[in-house]
Structure 1
């Protein structure tokens, strides 16, 4: 006899065999026993949760047919696949036999699977029959997307929502199957399979089938990890520890090791989200934890990360998860994810400690010791403008990166004494490139950029991935970075700059470089265009401008702009606030 997949062998034959849908099965059993069955039902829910199995069981039960009987041998149970027969002609062929009496059974039952795939015309053809079918005809519609079913159809059916099956229930079912198959297994391996199945019993049995085939009739943790593409708890814990410590190079190295083993990118993101969930719940709902990692490890990470930071990390993971579905370069997106996660280095704690340090050590804010609550309140108010002024006009996430994370990342940079910093930055450098900019030069730089950055190591490649060429002349190239924190790191990384110059030279691209943040790039370009329109021209030679020094930072370079803003006459500032800066023109 030909081999059959486990999900077919162990498909439920009675309502008692079904697991995880007790409310639905009990309701249907009671309706059959009391002869109060409806004429139309809609079974909706995620894949592999028992919708079609329940429909077949219901069709046999109301007709008193033995559970071991194959549905294909019963002419009065008609199963219709709407996914492959969605036209109105297909529906009319089915409905043309509705008025004929059942051949053997008491009721003729039509099971329409994936009903949401029917065309509008097919739905309209079904509508009248579904509303008033013959007394001996019943319809069961099954779908994974009930929102696509017209409300006119929904209102004519009894609707049953099938829920995802709990992983513990799935695991217990797998144990039962393996015992019947007389196959040895490891408990943690079944937990991995149940978690990957995401509430679908059919998926769980299919994965179990693969693991058995892979492991020669032995279900082990290693085999389960290999088949599902999941990451071991040791690797997962090492990764989360590295990003939580803000150790970007270490985080990227752990990621690289995971990817070398052939782990699935989507599965890795799901595993990280699952671990963060357990870290979040360890202090509030210990009984809900699914991970096998020791509670002490989870509690230590929970204390280190905090709820706010875990929430930020999950939002980043969710965004990357959506992007992974639309790209073939999953490795690059995972590296970008790693950089983003490791940049979230305890922003709240560091900001508060820096405020405290300012209020204690800055003599300009301490004209007198604190004596009462009012003094404390005044000091807090005086301290706030320091932070507000620094992060003004910057989105919160970027502000944290610029004010908090950049200093931490700067400590991780390994400077090469034999190399010197080669790049320039600031408005004058950008203007110098724009004066000689050519569209052809920029096009060549953009087309070669993805290939060029693959020559770098993992850490440098991740840094350059979030940079893009935005302007180019025959001699110079402007690179705009998405995050000021990484711009800060790039400005001080002499080794990366020298490697980049060498790579540009090999590609016959401009070798003089200007680094700038995306936000500043848009501002400087707008300023340059405004000067051109007003007739203000100034020849700037890029080679006359100084390169960045080891003390230079992207933030410090913006200080001259702040000084200019502060010296602006009050009447001009008031006019701009009232009418907008685009309308107000100052004439000397």
Structure 2
């Protein structure tokens, strides 16, 4: 028989074999014992935490002919067929490659047929968040009221991308990341079973690098065992294979940073990368070391060289360095320049300025005080002008109150030109295409960012650009200044449309004015571009072209013609 990877060899076959998810497995066992199995389940959580394993065990258990205390027997005909993948009533679907409406309609048409071997027909849909919106809609009714002999088990690593209408029709179980000690204990159990020697520190390193996923930990262990032919897992091999940053190397780097030696700090960071240690591991271990130092700063027994140096550093400085490292980890998701991100962390940490003042920076504080004083005076003058009556000339007309602009003139000018560029090539079909996917784009955002975008909607679109109008100016300003959010919107919109479109933002109050101005200018362009004809014919022709263009841009339902 061909070799099987460790994570497949050690895949749980009963609920008691699932590591670190005791609450979930006990709940499922109790439901099986009481014969209260739901018609639909949703398993969500990080990769490699047991979602698919629990789904397969549950599917096997509901069709087991000799169920004992909620556990499948693994000996009856149905259990053996389920383990071998030959049970006709167990259907596993990968939504990443079967995410269309047709695949879900096929399921919907076949659920009415009774199971052929077991008591239930079970559908396991993995990575369900990859389904298209049309596929989700096709699944809704069947998921809410399936036949009595059908059970749906949905699994996903990105719960926020699953529509709320789907979640509300299921029993939701959230799988958690496994603790380092839990993973390490299971790895030791695997190595003992295989009669392979190991170093305890090496096992702990593997558990840390796996980032809470048991499957990742077993895959790394499998790789290290293959790397070494003497049946021994050592710390050195783990460092070489995984690029793990050992604590001593990171302490040396932090010691140099706190000593304010920029050249040596940058060189040490480069040396670590040349040894195969990733920037992610460097920053992650730096956070761990800084956190331990922060907690042990007052502990006299903590006498390492770094701890002694930290005694002269404030807690604010350590917290700032942790924040810089976290910022670097977040930036790694969007950049391929790993070395630059580590260098930025080093420079920011060296340039940290304490909040307390001393004699050397007293002049800075003096300048700040002067600026604050000038600001206070300016605010007082503004308040005085607000209460001062407006002087009018006797012969002049009554003053007309000018409406306060919603944004600065400079910004208005910028998006005005951009909107005009969009409208020159905009079509109703492009707008309809963007509107159809806009809800999916917003659902892909984090909840806090999605809340900012709920008051927006597409109002015009061309093959390369789209105009988004905001109902409230305050959210328009916030999103306009949030480049990270704009990048995410562009990325998710490109994923939905399979083509890139630049996003232009405008306040809703400004949109009708811009649209009217554009149509007026477009009319003038048409009139000036046509040859001299009879005035009446020319006027009718230009009016017709303008109306046609307006209908093409915004749809006939939004256009009314007035003489």
207-216 or 127-136, which moves further after superposition?
A: 207-216
Q: State whether structure 2 residue 117 is matched by structure 1 residue 104.
A: yes
Q: How does 1:148-297 map to 2 (within 5 A)?
A: 148-216=161-229, 217-282=231-296, 296=304
Alpha carbons 1:46, 1:144 under 8 Å: kept:
yes
Cα–Cα, structure 1 residues 194 and 92, in superposed 2: closer, same or farther, change >3 Å?
same
Give the equivalent residue in structure 1 for 2:20.
20
Give the equivalent residue in structure 2 for 1:430.
none
Query: Which structure 2 residue ranges, 5 or more long, are not aligned?
Result: 65-71, 373-563
Give the equivalent residue in structure 2 for 1:311.
319
Q: State whether structure 2 residue 92 is matched by structure 1 residue 115.
A: no
Cα–Cα, structure 1 residues 274 and 92, in superposed 2: closer, same or farther, change >3 Å?
same
Count of matched residue positions in the alignment of Structure 1 and Structure 2: 358
Alpha carbons 1:81, 1:113 under 8 Å: kept:
yes
Cα–Cα, structure 1 residues 269 and 214, in superposed 2: closer, same or farther, change >3 Å?
same
Alpha carbons 2:296, 2:302 under 8 Å: kept:
no
SS in 2 for 1:19: coil
C-alpha displacement of 1:190: 0.7
Matched residues in 2 for 1:142 and 1:341: separation? 41
Q: State whether structure 2 residue 146 is matched by structure 1 residue 133.
A: yes
TM-score by length of 1: 0.57
TM-score by length of 2: 0.60
Deviations 1:247-304 (A, max 9, x none): 2122122223212212212222222122222222335999xxxxxx977556435534
Give the equivalent residue in structure 1 for 2:507.
none
C-alpha displacement of 1:89: 0.3
Give the equivalent residue in structure 2 for 1:403.
none
C-alpha displacement of 1:78: 0.8
Give the equivalent residue in structure 2 for 1:339.
347
Alpha carbons 1:279, 1:301 under 8 Å: kept:
no
Cα–Cα, structure 1 residues 48 and 284, in superposed 2: closer, same or farther, change >3 Å?
farther
Q: How does 1:70-89 map to 2 (within 5 A)?
A: 70=83, 72-89=85-102
Alpha carbons 1:83, 1:117 under 8 Å: kept:
yes
Matched residues in 2 for 1:329 and 1:312: separation? 22
SS in 1 for 2:111: coil
Matched residues in 1 for 2:306 and 2:42: separation? 43
Alpha carbons 1:56, 1:71 under 8 Å: kept:
no
Cα–Cα, structure 1 residues 180 and 338, in superposed 2: closer, same or farther, change >3 Å?
same
C-alpha displacement of 1:394: 10
Deviations 1:320-369 (A, max 9, x none): 22333333332233223222212226x24xx44538xx9xxxxxxxxxxx
